[in-house]
Structure 1
Amino acid sequence: MVEIKLFNKSQLFEYIYSSDFGNSNCIPITIHRALSQFKNTKLHEEDVILLIAFCNGNVIGYLGVLPDILSFNNNVIRIGWLSCLWVSDEFRGNGISYNLIIKALELWDNKLLTSDYVSYTKKIYDKTKLFNLKPYVKKGIRLYLKSDMQNILPPKKPFLSKFLFLFKILDFILNAFLNLRILLFYKFHTNFDFEYTNYADDEINDFIKSKQNNQLFKKDKNDLNWIIQNPWILSEDKKSNLNKKYYFSSTVNLFRFHLIKIKNKRKELVGVILFSEKDKSLKIPYIYHNNIDCIIETIYFHVHVWKIKTLTTFNIEIVEGLKKGKSHPEVLKKEIIRNYIVSNPLSEYLFSPEIIIQDGDGDSVFT
């Protein structure tokens, strides 16, 4: 018999330190991710943030919820971001995902969103008849700044693993050519001063609060500090036995946030940017600025200094700037999209033409 159990903060805290959790065939959340959830500035004590499906005491499915606040035209609405829906292969096709989603909708008053969903789950959301059939779409761009065939191709097509040595040689040759082009034809300088910090202070707080009028999910220094200090992916050379039981990403060789104040030569704050770096892949969860040029220049400068291999963004201002820019050579420029599933009560807000959703909103900032 399948049973769905619900976990709020205190219940989840008790569960992750129980013998049932440690001895489970798979775990529905990592301990460090749970501890991060507990520090979410938008979390209420009674909020259900994890739903787990059990059968005969074994975890067979789970669904996470990340509490947030949507603000639009003086409307303030508590919502949840669905995160990490998983069902065991043995139980797929038995309605476990559907039942988890229906229960989450009930608990969160039908006010739910999810981003970057796996394509086959769209049918499950549609089946509930409680989500907008049309996803909210953000168009983005991915720049491949270095050749990295050895890491990109084999995971997509396992049979290509036999050519790993060849890919390494090709990467070396192509990157040597790129580096020579950069040395001869590109000069990376900046008209701005950068202050690197791992803590959002009052100066950052005042600046970003003045730059987010049309943003649905407004942030302050407490939100940024929670994110920076409580990542869901850790930098570890080797994954622990416990974390090996978790289906989704929990560790990589390198994961870190970079919070930067951008100042002009008069020492005036003109921009704030939060980068997330994962094994030489760079994303830009949050930007705040007086002029987008300072952001574009900051991006080009740091992909060079940090020797970034891929850069991904869905921010329309950055996308347009990168399409026009010629400040860094790339191997490939690829247009991509991110789809958001939106529950019906939230559709009027998400599909309003003037709204802005930052790349990091929801759980995207942690991945």
Structure 2
Amino acid sequence: MMQLKTFNKKQLEDFVSSGEFRQYDFLPITEHRALSHIQNPKATDEQTLLILAFFEGRLAGYLGCFPDHFVLDEKVIRYAWLSTLYVSGEFRGKKIAKRLLEKAMENYEGHIAITEFTIEAETLYNIIGAFEYIFPKRGKRFYFNTDLATIIPDKKPKTKVLKHFFSILDSTANSVISMKNILIKKPDFHFEILDHIDEESTDFIAGFQSRRNANEMNLSIKYPWVLKGERKDEKYLFSSYAETFKYFWIKVYDHQNSLTTCSLLLLRDGYLKIPYLFSQSDMEYFIDFLSYFIVKNKIKALTSYQQDLNKEIEHSKTFPKIYERDFERRYLFNKQLIQSLPEGFNPDYQDGDGDCMMT
């Protein structure tokens, strides 16, 4: 009645290149997401990257796996992030999600990690009882403009009739904010904005502990899960296109022209993230650059899990934030993965580690 089909690198490549993945009522993956999975340097040729569930011959759901690994005392501990989990509403109540999860745990010997999960998915993971929460990341979201016309109607649909009024308030408030931000000028120190990690940066970040090296980050930049474009894959339920989606590799130098900070920024539809940040000094230079970048690119909000940076931003008198909120990113590790790691092990993830980098 129910069948599961798994795909490794070669099988996934054939599945997508043949166009077979488009024959179903909904897409189990996009071409560019599949390419990113195939190009993942931490994935072996044999590991499962996609699992499809069929019920009475029809595609009912799917689960995506994004392989990763830890290297501890020269021992490689392989695991996978659950990057997608979807079951069609037509097949709900048939325990398809549970079967997909069980298959993933079987194929990875329980070495499964999850983050950025929905409330519904989190409920399922807790019901199964195979996962435990590990060290969460606490972050901040800094806002630079008002957006009452979007935020209030989304939270209180009955106020949609007042959207024009909220837009007038936004326009007035943001005009005042723009006048204030005129004072933020281009920094007087040297900085570079690249579309990839260059050789100097590679040498610089090699001196820091990181879950991804320069080559791995460059591959993630080259093969993202989201592409710039106004069209949408209506048959695909996860992120695939955005009006703006762009990575920036930032190099900041001090007044003696020494490289002090490298960072990867991700801009998506006016919202900024900092997947990676490597710095040898305090954050003063980087905050000055970030202020300039935010104003120049009309950033709506910045979400940052870089705790040292966040502390300095909170005390900065020049950073152009008008409001901030606390955020928390939680992680679930399968109990078998936890048992394979040293007691009290902290993965010390940056924001871009795992599958968060791609969206």
Fold agreement, TM-score > 0.5: yes
Match of residue 143 from structure 1:
142
For 1:17-76, what per-residue CA distance to the aligned partner results, in whole angstroms no more than 9, with x for missing partners? 345422311001111111111111112111100111122333221111111122345443
Q: Which runs of 5+ in 1 are unaligned?
A: none
Structure 1: how far apart are the matches of 2:175 and 2:343?
A: 46
Say if 2:312 is the partner of 1:312.
Answer: no
For 1:163-218, what per-residue CA distance to the aligned partner results, in whole angstroms no more than 9, with x for missing partners? 332332221111011112223xx434535311121222222222111111xx4x2x
Deviates more, 1:263-272 or 1:308-317: 263-272
Helix, strand or coil at the partner of 1:43:
coil
Helix, strand or coil at the partner of 2:136:
strand
Match of residue 270 from structure 2:
280
AA partner of residue 171 (structure 1): D
AA partner of residue 296 (structure 1): I
Structure 1: how far apart are the matches of 2:220 and 2:311?
A: 27
Match 1:231 to one of 224, 240, 247: 224
Identity %: 32
Match 1:337 to one of 323, 328, 336: 328
Task: Sort the Cα spacing of 1:65 and 1:192 in 2 relative to 1 into closer, same or farther, 3 A.
Answer: farther
For 1:217-273, what per-residue CA distance to the aligned partner results, in whole angstroms no more than 9, with x for missing partners? 2x222111111111111111222xxx2100011111110000111222333221110
Structure 1: how far apart are the matches of 2:110 and 2:53?
A: 20
- Correspondences of 1:1-367 after superposition (within 5 Å): 1-132=1-132, 134-183=133-182, 186-190=183-187, 192-212=189-209, 215=210, 217=211, 219-239=212-232, 243-293=233-283, 294-347=285-338, 349=341, 352=344, 355-367=347-359
Helix, strand or coil at the partner of 1:245:
coil
Structure 1: how far apart are the matches of 2:99 and 2:354?
A: 22
Indicate conservation of the 8 Å contact 1:137/1:337, yes or no.
Answer: yes
Q: TM-score, normalised by structure 1?
A: 0.90
Q: TM-score, normalised by structure 2?
A: 0.92
AA partner of residue 244 (structure 1): E
Task: Sort the Cα spacing of 1:34 and 1:162 in 2 relative to 1 into closer, same or farther, 3 A.
Answer: farther
Kindly report the root-mean-square deviation, in angstroms, between the aligned alpha carbons of the 2 structures. 2.2
Structure 1: how far apart are the matches of 2:193 and 2:342?
A: 33
Deviation at 1:310, TM superposition (A): 0.6
Helix, strand or coil at the partner of 2:131:
coil
AA partner of residue 262 (structure 2): V
Deviation at 1:345, TM superposition (A): 3.4
Indicate conservation of the 8 Å contact 1:102/1:128, yes or no.
Answer: no
AA partner of residue 331 (structure 1): I
